[in-house]
Amino acid sequence: MSMNLDMISLNSEFSEGTGLRTEEMLLNVGPQHPSTHGVFRLVVKIDGETIKESLPVIGYLHRGTEKLAEGLNYTQIIPYTDRMDYLSAMTNNYVICHAVETMMGIQIPERADFLRVIVMEMNRIASHLVWWGTYLLDIGAMSPFLFAFRDREMILELFNELCGARLTYNYMRIGGVKWDAPPGWIEKVKEFVKHLKKEIENYHALVTGNEIFINRLQGIGKFDAKTAIDYSLSGVMLRSTGVKWDLRKDEPYSVYNRFEFDVPTATEGDCLARYQLRMAEIEQSLRILEQALGQFPEEGEIMGKVPKVIRPPQGETFVRIESPRGEIGCYIASNGKDKPWRMKFRRPSFNNLQILPKLLKGENISNMVAILGSIDIVLGEVDA
Amino acid sequence: MSEEKRKPTPEEKAKAAAEAREKLEAARKAKEEQAAQASAPEAVASSPEQNAVKAEAEPASADQLAQAKAEAAAKAKAAAAAAAAAKAKAAREAAEGGATDTKAAETEAGGADADAKAKAAAAAKAKAAAAAAAAAKAKAAREAAEAGATETEAGGADADAKAKAAAAAKAKAAAAAAAAAKAKAAREAADGGAAETEAGGDDADAKAKAAAAAKAKAAAAAAAAAKAKAAREAGEGGAAGAEAGGDDADAKAKAIAAAKAKAAAAAAAKAKAAGGDAADTEAAPKAPSKNQPHLDHIVKLITEKFGSEVIEASYINELAKEVPTLVIKNENWHDVAKFLKENDELSFDYLSNLHGVDYEDRMEVYYHFYSYKNRQNLAVKVKTDREQPTVASVMNIWSGANWNERETYDLLGIYFPGHSELRRIMLPEEWVGHPLRKDYVPFDEEV
């Protein structure tokens, strides 16, 4: 990929006071770099250790999901959504099903709705665990990664038992879910919730209170609420600035309005606040899971009444839901046929990443990875 | 397809049946064909066959065993296929053709000898089960029925030419019925049931079996009738079944019971349908959306500031959770956008989504806004010409529009004057064309 490097011009000057000659240089990070969590390239102009300017280059994982979708029927598109945010495929599954169901006015059986919420919250926890482990790996701690992946593995095992896949679940269908919970599965999830509640304490003991860790993250990558809203940020990125906004609470979908949970917010807007919020969100997800598992209907259908061929009425829809990374949306323009005329996914990672050059400007190069990591991007979703 | 029909060999049919699953689209064509066949050529063919069967009814012989078997098999298949295929809408003509044919033939089978019937009934059941599976798809069902006809011909080795012809004709009728079975199928199933009751002769065992079969079909018909449309048809079938009660009291009682069951099912389905209709009519005068006042307010504010001509349309989008939607005139978009964000009563400070749509005769850019202050959603659409698609950039109003506009430019080729660095974001700079355009052809360096 050729890139317009004219945008970054280098110059050299004598730094004030010392009389030492300094020179700007370009540093290329990625696209193959462990700290970019995928194929993300960042061209940074540095002067000494200070970042003067940065230019994100994306598109290395662009597969044309929206173009492909125009040639597929709605059920066939669902597996493609798995591959956008592959750390939280369940929410991606849900957003497309929810969009089509909204258009067609399809009623979802209660049991299916509960299964959806349970898997989405489990996936949120799994996603946050990956973030927790890899983020601490980014800033130099090895062992949290091992703990996080040990516990995430339990979720993946449960998903594997439910739908036969560990990452790309293709679990939901328009009108319900594909597989019912196997016998004993709900009990296993209950066991897992108990287990993780205990583990969370260990996580906090291991990392959260660590003074070095706090000093490392406090005050870097800071922005305020006005900036966050201006940059279309959502999810933890937005809540870390004090905006109490969670679509599960504020525009409830599925059966979220039946559960009690808090929307954790912070006001600092820095990397530490984002860390704390994600940890708090795991606890809130566990709370939702406990209630959902407790109220889980003993029996019932897992698929609603859905026409054999899914043809949403002519018109357009846009729905948005809360993914672990923020607000994921799905727009469908239908011409009444079984394939979408145009399908667009509003991807939280893509929108959240936009603010990166602004955050990096003037930062020390050593904070670059810490700030990038705190945004929590998934490149499959950035590039779609 | 039509060639296969003219020269049917077992291999071809088996192949066709297998292919049937893949060729979903061909089902529609098949339906039309069936309709044509049932109404035109078979009507002609049926009369000589019927005569032939009548003539045969007098000398009861071993031939009849084969014939009865053939008939029973054909019937069972027709009914089972009809019930299984009972979903889509149907070629009613084909169904009628099939029903008449089958009925006529069955009536004649009435006086057949007991042993033959008993065997026939047993065979019918077995085949019905097989056929039900085979008939899972309408087209497959038709092929299966045809294949069945061939089998029957082979089985009745000593049956004379007439018997063969009759069996073949019935099999065709069954096939027609199967193909027609989409939705209106309930009626056929019911007809089949009625006919079998008629078939109940003197022998008690045979009757009992026939009655049982009829019941099973009635049940199938009732299930199929669950859909509102089918319900009426089932009702008709039920009536026919009641009339069909034979002279034997037991058979009659059973037939009546079956008819009642059908009638009840039909009535229930009808009631449901009626209820649904009533609900629809009640819902017809819809209450205005809860977002209507918001939309009116937004429109009022914009009109006061810019005049009414900047709003090309305004409506509540029922399909998108009742979001108030505005279509803003292209020339005024930037001013209106600024107003949407900066006006205190509107303050749409959050741009959730921005993308373009190619409608072939025009392009549209779709924006979804949210106001955190007023907790209100708003969708805006701006139309633009397709040849030189241009929409003013809102990047200086919402910073979040930056990458979204670049993506829209990259994939759809819409220009956003005012954007600070409008260049490709997903695709390489040297890419030719804009892939999400409906007339996009991938550029091939070799050509």
Between chain A and chain B, the number of residue pairs with CB atoms below 8 A apart is 111
- How does residue B74 score in pLDDT terms, banded at 50, 70 and 90? low
Which residues of B are less than 8 Å from A245 in CB distance? 372
**Of A123-137, B40-54, B287-301, which one has max mean pLDDT?**
A123-137
pLDDT for position A209: 87
Percentage of chain B surpassing pLDDT 70? 36
- How does residue B40 score in pLDDT terms, banded at 50, 70 and 90? very low
- How does residue A177 score in pLDDT terms, banded at 50, 70 and 90? very high
Separation CA B35–CA B313 (nearest Å): 47
Q: Which of A15-29, B142-156, B257-271 has the lowest mean pLDDT?
A: B142-156
pLDDT value at B103 more than 80: no
Write the DSSP symbol of residue A208.
Answer: I
Q: Do A351 and B400 touch (CB under 8 A)?
A: yes
Beta bridge partners of A320: A329
- How does residue B84 score in pLDDT terms, banded at 50, 70 and 90? very low
Q: Do B429 and A316 touch (CB under 8 A)?
A: no
Contact predicate A166/A156, CB 8 Å: yes
Query: Which residues contact residue A85 at a Cβ distance below 8 angstroms, ignoring those fewer than 6 apart?
Result: A91, A92, A323, A324, A325, A328, A347, A349, A378, A380, A381
- How does residue A384 score in pLDDT terms, banded at 50, 70 and 90? confident
Three-state SS sequence of chain B: CHHHHHCCCHHHHHHHHHHHCCCCCHHHHHHHHHHHHHHCHHHHHHHHHHHHHHHHHCCCCHHHHHHHHHHHHHHHHHHHHHHHCCCCCCCHHHHHHHHHHHHHHHHHHHHCCHHHHHHHHHHHHHHHHHHHHHCCCHHHHHHHHHHHHHHHHHHCCCCCHHHHHHHHHHHHHHHHHHHHCCCCHHHHHHHHHHHHHHHCCCCHHHHHHHHHHHHHHHHHHHHHCCCHHHHHHHHHHHHHHHHCCCCCHHHHHHHHHHHHHHHHHHHHHHHHHHHHHHHHHHHCCCCCCCCHHHHHHHHHHHHHHHCHHHEEEEEEEHHHCCEEEEEECHHHHHHHHHHHHHCCCCCCCEEEEEEEEECCCCEEEEEEEEECCCCEEEEEEEEECCCCCECCCCCCCCCCHHHHHHHHHHHHCCECCCCCCCCCCCCCCCCCCCCCCCCCCCCCCCC
A64, A230, A317: residue with CB nearest B400: A230
Percentage of chain A surpassing pLDDT 90? 83
Q: Which of A342, A343, A345, A381 to mutate to test the interface with B (most CBs of B within 10 A)?
A: A342
Distance from CA of A376 to the nearest CA of B (A): 17
pLDDT for position B308: 87
Measured between CB atoms, does B372 come within 8 Å of chain A? yes
pLDDT for position A37: 80
Q: Which of A209-213, A285-289, B36-40 has the lowest mean pLDDT?
A: B36-40
Residues A195-233 have pLDDT tens digits of 999 999 999 999 998 899 999 999 999 999 999 999 999
Measured between CB atoms, does B1 come within 8 Å of chain A? no
Which residue in chain A has the smallest CA separation from B427? A59
Measured between CB atoms, does A233 come within 8 Å of chain B? yes
Which residues of A are less than 8 Å from B357 in CB distance? 316, 333, 341-342
pLDDT value at B20 more than 60: no
Residues A335-358 have pLDDT tens digits of 999 999 999 999 999 999 999 999
In A, residues 157-216, which contact B (CB 8 Å cutoff)? none
Measured between CB atoms, does A351 come within 8 Å of chain B? yes
Residues A39-86 have pLDDT tens digits of 899 999 998 889 999 999 999 999 999 999 999 999 999 999 999 999
Q: Which of A179-193, B90-104, B324-338 has the lowest mean pLDDT?
A: B90-104
Which residue in chain B has the smallest CA separation from A340? B357
Measured between CB atoms, does A64 come within 8 Å of chain B? yes
Q: Do B375 and A250 touch (CB under 8 A)?
A: yes
Q: Do B429 and A2 touch (CB under 8 A)?
A: yes
Rounded to an integer, the average pLDDT of B342-353 is: 92
Distance from CA of B146 to the nearest CA of A (A): 27
Nearest to A57 by CA among A383, A341, A297, A281: A383
Q: Do B353 and A64 touch (CB under 8 A)?
A: no
Measured between CB atoms, does B415 come within 8 Å of chain A? no
- How does residue A90 score in pLDDT terms, banded at 50, 70 and 90? very high
pLDDT for position B9: 54
| Cβ neighbours, 10 Å, residue B417 | 10
Residues B360-383 have pLDDT tens digits of 899 999 999 999 999 999 999 999
pLDDT for position B185: 43
Residues A262-271 have pLDDT tens digits of 999 999 999 9
Which residues of B are less than 8 Å from A3 in CB distance? 429
> What is the average pLDDT value for chain A, to the nearest integer?
90
Q: Do A232 and B398 touch (CB under 8 A)?
A: yes
Q: Do A59 and B319 touch (CB under 8 A)?
A: no
Rounded to an integer, the average pLDDT of B47-68 is: 48
Rg (CA), chain A: 22
Residues B162-219 have pLDDT tens digits of 545 454 555 454 444 444 444 344 444 444 444 444 443 344 454 445 455 555 454 4
Rounded to an integer, the average pLDDT of B409-424 is: 92
Distance from CA of B260 to the nearest CA of A (A): 28
A58, A103, A329: residue with CB nearest B319: A103
Which residue in chain B has the smallest CA separation from A234? B352
- How does residue B288 score in pLDDT terms, banded at 50, 70 and 90? confident
Measured between CB atoms, does B366 come within 8 Å of chain A? yes
Q: Which residue has the higher pLDDT, B102 or A221?
A: A221
Distance from CA of B357 to the nearest CA of A (A): 7
Rounded to an integer, the average pLDDT of B231-237 is: 43
Percentage of chain A surpassing pLDDT 70? 95
- How does residue A32 score in pLDDT terms, banded at 50, 70 and 90? confident
Which residues of A are less than 8 Å from B349 in CB distance? 229-230
Distance from CA of A194 to the nearest CA of B (A): 36
Say whether A119 sits in a helix, a strand or coil.
Answer: helix
Q: Which residue has the higher pLDDT, B299 or A36?
A: B299
pLDDT for position B286: 65
- How does residue A23 score in pLDDT terms, banded at 50, 70 and 90? confident
Percentage of chain B surpassing pLDDT 90? 26
pLDDT for position A116: 94
pTM, entire model: 0.65
- How does residue B36 score in pLDDT terms, banded at 50, 70 and 90? very low
